[in-house]
Amino acid sequence: MKPVVVFRHAASEGAGYLGQFLDQKEIVWEVVRIDRNDAIPTSARDFSGLVFMGGPMSVNDPLPWIPPLLDLIREAVSLNIPVLGHCLGGQLISKALGAEVTKNPVKEIGWGEVTVSDNPTASEWFGTLDKFQGFHWHGETFSLPDQAVHLLASQYCKNQAYALGKHIAFQCHIEMTEKMVQTWCEIGLDEIRASSDSPSVYQPEEIKHDLQARISTLSSIAHPIYERWIQGLVR
């Protein structure tokens, strides 16, 4: 089987739990480090699936690597090669497929409840789960591409995830590890302080409270989602 390719847009926002999951499943995967100017693949045909991680930039920024990534996403979708996006990655998928990425009414940073939509597609991805504590760090949000099915919402952001066939895009983060949370709280401290008046932005001590248990629960939720996603990998 061809490898899964994971696009990393910032050094602190790697594959996280997804990488551990792929290793457990003995699925070969490789990383394209956009933050280190790695060469962008010229075709999605070289991979069994494409994954796009988070990052502090906006998909609306005039960055030279964004247009080729959008082209890769469109090619993958046209070839039915599964695409998975986390936060910025989900926004890239939306933009590539003709939807909009705009400023969210408020910034979300930290743990926050997301509710699962009541539709058959959501049940296919989330089973009987009706809500969970997702991890958030975003100031923008996406609209849904044509024919996409809504999966998740939070109090402060109505579009937290959607599916389009075997493709799935998240605004929230399900890939977090303890180390990632610790690092983000350190490098993002100024952003937290600047947005402390937002009702959906939490302080580092709140974010890190009971962290091991929270991450364990989140990983147990991410696992079956990733399990379903890999069923669509091109073999």
pLDDT (tens digit, 9 = 90+) per residue, 25-80? 999 999 999 999 999 999 999 999 999 999 999 999 999 999 999 999 999 999 99
Least confident window among 197-201, 208-212, 222-226? 197-201
**With a threshold of 0.85, does the pTM exceed it?**
yes
Q: What is the pLDDT of residues 113-152, one digit of tens each?
A: 999 999 999 999 999 999 999 999 999 999 999 999 999 9
Within 8 A by CB and 6+ apart from 74, the residues are: 96, 97
pLDDT tens figures, 156-204: 999 999 999 999 999 999 999 999 999 999 999 999 999 988 899 999 9
Domains, the chain, ranges and CATH? 4-230 (3.40.50.880)
Assess contact for 181 and 139: CB atoms under 8 A: no
Phi (first) and psi of residue 209, to 5 degrees? -65, 130
Strands 149-154 and 101-116: antiparallel
